[in-house]
Amino acid sequence: METYELVKTKATAAKKAAAELAVTGTAVKNKALVAMAQALLDRQQEILQANAEDMRQAADKGMKASMLDRLKLTEQRIASMAEGLEQVAVLPDPVGTVVGGSRLANGMTVTKVRVPLGVIGIIYEARPNVTADAAGLCLKSGNAVILKGGSEAMQSNKVIASVLSEAAEKAGIPQGAVQFIDTSDRQAVTDLIHMNGLVDVVIPRGGAGLIKAVVMNATVPVIETGAGVCHTFVDASADVQMAMDIAYNAKVQRPSVCNAMETLLVHKDIAGKFLPPMLEKYFAAGVEIRGDERVQAFSGQVLPAVEEDWSTEYGDLRLSVKVVDSLQEALAHIAAYSTGHSECIVTSDYANARQFQLRVDAAAVYVNASTRFTDGFEFGFGAEIGISTQKLHARGPMALPELTSTKYLIDGSGQVRG
């Protein structure tokens, strides 16, 4: 089949399934999620075999070690995919939640309720666990899903998707609710993001290149899960030890993720006390520091920062550091270079804390806590499909409610408009 026909066939089947899935009861969905978890465990040998095949091909093509690690499945990783599905089973079902309403003067009642989005396209890269995570979250929120994984994980994703969709259907989920696009033709992404009328939203999950390509080319609505150039600003009044703990955690604990810090801003009045021990701690952890001139003055080991550094999401143990004269300068720097993900001030000053939270335009604005907390699980949502850095529909960690839309139900007794 031509790629376009393949994608359209799957999208049509997904749309058909979505209409039924939207009215499928919570109990059936929960039973299916548990069955899907069990099926992953029952069929883990098939999954591991397929993954071994992907790993072999990737190694042959010279994939680097960090990418190979993302691709690799183990018994433990399959178990944690299964556990994830079981956790989604026990979360509240957002569908049908009444989020507002009123009785109007003419006696009509208006009730706003959550309904599924419909058909969600997920476009993702190397990690095969996204197949299970996304399928589980979409199913629980009543959405049909079309999964388009990276070609490097094709065999793994294909087996996982088929295990999940078989188990779901056996448990009473409408046929076709979990679709997997089993072609490596890159045209499939282009086709998927143009399926207006069949696909309600696409969510790209992966590197900046993938996300940009989807955002710039899709005609279907997109939720952008964008890059994180996250800042920590150490205010003049900060507790030095607290600032060190937060700035260390935000950079070092897991540098590859989007909520890790990339730029540290330090008020000039605290730089002398804060920077020497902080830099030492970073160097001990193997962090490469790129600083402006005032930072360089504190250590010969600091490399000079260039303009590009301020807008770079390193995703590794590199950090840009700048000394600023004021809260205002910190705010201006953040406004200029932030990607609107997570920003933090460490301060003891009430007014500055308030000003920072008011002024900074980002999904998550922290006072005295590490930006690393921007995460659906950490925020207590019980799940996460991604972190939105756009302002439309959802901003910040997206969980089940963010995978729904709403509709208005109007009940009357013959009202007409005058």
How many beta carbons lie within 10 A of that of residue 2, not counting itself? Answer: 11
For a second copy, the closer of residues 283 and 373 by Cβ is 373
Tell me: does residue 175 bind a second copy (CB under 8 A): no
Task: Give the range of 37-45, 64-72, 226-234, 409-417 binding a second copy by CB under 8 A.
Answer: 409-417
Tell me: does residue 379 bind a second copy (CB under 8 A): yes
Cβ burial, residue 61 (10 Å; 0-12/13-18/19+): exposed
Task: Quote the least distance from Cβ 349 to a second copy, whole Å.
Answer: 14
C-alpha gyration radius of the chain: 24
Q: How would you classify the pairing of strands 396-398 and 201-205? A: unpaired
Supply 152's token pair.
């490097």
Tell me: does residue 226 bind a second copy (CB under 8 A): no
- Selected binder of a second copy within 94, 118, 136, 150 (CB under 8 A): 118
- Round to whole Å and give the CA distance between 240 and 271: 10
Tell me: does residue 117 bind a second copy (CB under 8 A): yes
Tell me: does residue 281 bind a second copy (CB under 8 A): no
Cβ atoms of residues 193 and 222 within 8 Å? yes
- Round to whole Å and give the CA distance between 125 and 17: 25
- Round to whole Å and give the CA distance between 123 and 149: 6
Tell me: does residue 95 bind a second copy (CB under 8 A): no
Q: Binding marks (x or -) toward a second copy, 15..54, rule CB under 8 A? A: ----x--xx-------------------------------
Tell me: does residue 5 bind a second copy (CB under 8 A): no
Task: State the DSSP string of 267-322.
Answer: EHHHHHHHHHHHHHHHHHTT-EEEE-HHHHTT-TTPEEP-GGGGG----SSEEEEE
Task: Quote the least distance from Cβ 102 to a second copy, whole Å.
Answer: 6
- Selected binder of a second copy within 80, 219, 301, 328 (CB under 8 A): 219
Tell me: does residue 362 bind a second copy (CB under 8 A): yes
CA 348 to chain centre: 31
Cβ burial, residue 70 (10 Å; 0-12/13-18/19+): middle
Tell me: does residue 361 bind a second copy (CB under 8 A): yes
Tell me: does residue 378 bind a second copy (CB under 8 A): yes
Task: Give the range of 27-35, 130-138, 242-250, 276-284 binding a second copy by CB under 8 A.
Answer: 242-250
For a second copy, the closer of residues 293 and 377 by Cβ is 377
- Round to whole Å and give the CA distance between 234 and 4: 52
Tell me: does residue 201 bind a second copy (CB under 8 A): yes
Supply 185's token pair.
């033709």
Instruction: With CB under 8 A as the rule, give the number of residues binding a second copy.
Output: 69
Tell me: does residue 208 bind a second copy (CB under 8 A): no
Tell me: does residue 370 bind a second copy (CB under 8 A): yes
- Round to whole Å and give the CA distance between 350 and 111: 41
Tell me: does residue 367 bind a second copy (CB under 8 A): yes
Residues interacting with a second copy, by CB under 8 A? 19, 22-23, 102, 104, 108, 110, 115, 117-118, 196, 200-201, 215-217, 219, 221-223, 239, 242, 245-246, 248-250, 253-254, 335, 353, 357-359, 361-370, 372-374, 378-380, 390-393, 395-396, 405-417
